[in-house]
Amino acid sequence: MSGELERRLLALEDRAEIGELIARYGPAVDSGDGAAVAALWAPNGTYRFDDVELDATGVRALVSYPTHMDYMERGCAHILSAPRISIDGDTAVAITHSAVMIHDGTRWLGERVSANRWELRRLPEGWRVQRRVNRLLDGAPEARLLFSSGSD
């Protein structure tokens, strides 16, 4: 295989693996599977949403938060858009929208709609989330900035 063809194939495989990793988040959190959620993160990875920053232990426990337990009892769906992925060697950034839908007994309501920046790194076992930042799309500039390349 030519060097260029091999490079392109590896880039496609990386994009597919990162997309699959992000796609596993919603079903894992909606099923209450803390171990599956935690398995998406690097051992020292973090997840920041609102004014909360979780470490690996916190990511695992996310599904047992009272708010999340209430979501699951009512019926919920964490829906993520297809990611826009930029890869640089063994690190990558993926940008997504996310929506948390809650069933209110008669219809589905958008509980949270957010901008997300996923910073990933390649580990021996594959791509993992090093840092995820989630900001509500409530008009504040911090959320819109997550959609910019190179944003923090």
CATH number assigned to the domain comprising residue 65: 3.10.450.50
What pTM did the predictor assign? 0.93
Q: Determine, yes or no, domain membership for 152.
A: no
pLDDT tens-digit readout, 93-140: 999 999 999 999 999 999 999 999 999 999 999 999 999 999 999 999
Q: Determine, yes or no, domain membership for 89.
A: yes
Q: How many domains does the chain have?
A: 1
**Chain centroid, CA 109 distance in Å:** 21
pLDDT tens-digit readout, 33-92: 999 999 999 999 999 998 999 998 999 999 999 999 999 999 999 999 999 999 999 999
Q: Which two tokens stand for residue 86?
A: 């930029």
Q: Determine, yes or no, domain membership for 88.
A: yes
What pLDDT is recorded for position 152?
Answer: 44
* Burial (CB count <10 Å: 0-12, 13-18, 19+), residue 88: exposed
Mean pLDDT of the chain: 95
